[in-house]
Structure formats: C-alpha cells, structure tokens
C-alpha cells in the first residue's frame, strides 16, 4: 500500500561524474518521475519521497537556493505528468518556511490533482522532519481541550492523516538510518538499504526489493 523512499546520494553521484553537486540533484529529480510512474503502474497506492528535510537548511546557501529553484521547476514541469498518469500530489512538512510562490504552486498542484485524479498518491516531504511533525501534532492536540491524546488522535493529526502507515521503506546511497523520516508511520515498515546512489537507482532494483518484501513474514509484534 505505502512505499517510502529516502533519496540519498545525489551529491556523491555528481562527484563520481566530476560534476557539481547541483548536477546530481537535477539528475535525481529525473529519477523521481521514473520511479513514480513505475509505482503508479504497479498498483502501489502511496509513494512518499523525502525531498527536503528540516535539517537540509544547514547546507550551503547556494545549494539550498538551487534546490528551491529545482523544486519550483519540477512542480510546473511535472503537472501534466501527474494528470496524464492519474497521480494525486500531496505535500507533507511545514511549507510555510518556503517562498510564497512555491507554497502557491504546491497548493495549486494539490488542489488540481485531488480534483481530477484518483490513482497513486505521491507524497513529497518538503521542509519535513518527523520530530517537527510530532511537535506540531502535539501543539494542535493540546489546543483541543476535549481531545484525548492516544494513538488514534495522534495519527489523525499527523501530516499523513488518512494515509496508511508505511509498509516498505527504502534508502539509497549506502547509509543505514532513517534520518528523521516518517518515524511514527514507519513503526512496522520493512526496511531496505542499498549502496546505489539515487540517480542510479533503477526500476529493476526496486522490483527486486518488492519481490523480497513479499517473502518477508510481517508479524506486527505477534507470533
């Protein structure tokens, strides 16, 4: 139902190809389309992509500015792809920290695709961090005086409200950590790590992981 991807390795991929880091990000954006279209055709219902974390603001100013520019271009250029492939677009994270122009483009794409599409939902995590998501969630719940704080009320207040928990989480790039991504939602996710850098990640490798996923025994704490 729900596949999550930590897209790591753009900068290292660029370095391997003797290119600046921004070249890796540009190639990584192309890979998003390829993997998203594959998931849409494969019957996966939700695809979450870690695009920009709350910690990514620590990167060099020029790189952050380029990432914001790339995001804006991606949202405009891919609009037709979403509509033609029947893909619903949704963002999670605190987008209030993004430029007003980007916020408007995000909301416009969400509104149009939610009205016209009913296939795969692609969830783009923008200025997202799981700890920040939980902080914002508890602030909202604390303001609701009659609301009992339990697993159900928390899940209903998260950015991913109404979306099933992550079944399978993949991280490219060789690192073996979650890096503050969908911590609540990934409590029982099956984890997959690969040395492949994100721009080199292929549909074939993802298919192999999915085949292994179906061989795993998910007990959710039971026997």
**Catalytic positions:** 8, 56
Q: CA-CA distance, 121 to 163, in Å (whole number)?
A: 9
DSSP 198: G
Report residue 134 as tokens: 């939980």
In the beta sheet, which residues pair with residue 3?
47, 168
Residue 173 CB-density burial (10 A; 0-12 exposed, 13-18 middle, 19+ buried): buried
Q: Phi/psi of residue 219, each to 5°?
A: -100, -15
Is the distance from CB of 117 to CB of 86 less than 8 angstroms? yes
Q: CA-CA distance, 119 to 13, in Å (whole number)?
A: 32
Q: CA-CA distance, 98 to 75, in Å (whole number)?
A: 14
């Amino acid at each position: 139902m729900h596949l999550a991807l930590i897209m790591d390795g753009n900068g290292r991929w660029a370095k391997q190809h003797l290119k600046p880091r921004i070249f890796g990000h540009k190639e990584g954006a192309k890979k998003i389309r390829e993997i998203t279209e594959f998931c849409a055709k494969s019957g996966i219902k939700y695809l979450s992509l870690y695009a920009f974390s709350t910690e990514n603001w620590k990167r060099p100013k020029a790189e952050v500015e380029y990432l914001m520019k790339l995001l804006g271009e991606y949202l405009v250029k891919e609009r037709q792809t979403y509509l033609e492939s029947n893909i619903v677009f949704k963002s999670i994270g605190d987008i209030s920290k993004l430029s007003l122009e980007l916020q408007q483009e995000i909301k416009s794409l969400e509104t149009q695709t939610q009205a016209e599409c009913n296939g795969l939902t692609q969830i783009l995590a923008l200025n997202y961090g799981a700890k920040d998501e939980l902080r914002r969630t508890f602030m909202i719940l604390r303001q609701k005086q009659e609301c009992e704080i339990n697993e159900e009320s928390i899940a209903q207040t998260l950015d991913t409200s109404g979306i099933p928990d992550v079944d399978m989480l993949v991280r490219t790039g060789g690192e073996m950590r979650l890096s503050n991504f969908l911590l609540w939602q990934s409590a029982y996710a099956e984890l997959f790590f690969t040395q492949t850098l994100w721009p080199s990640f292929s549909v074939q490798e993802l298919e192999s992981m999915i085949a292994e996923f179906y061989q795993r025994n998910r007990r959710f704490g039971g026997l």
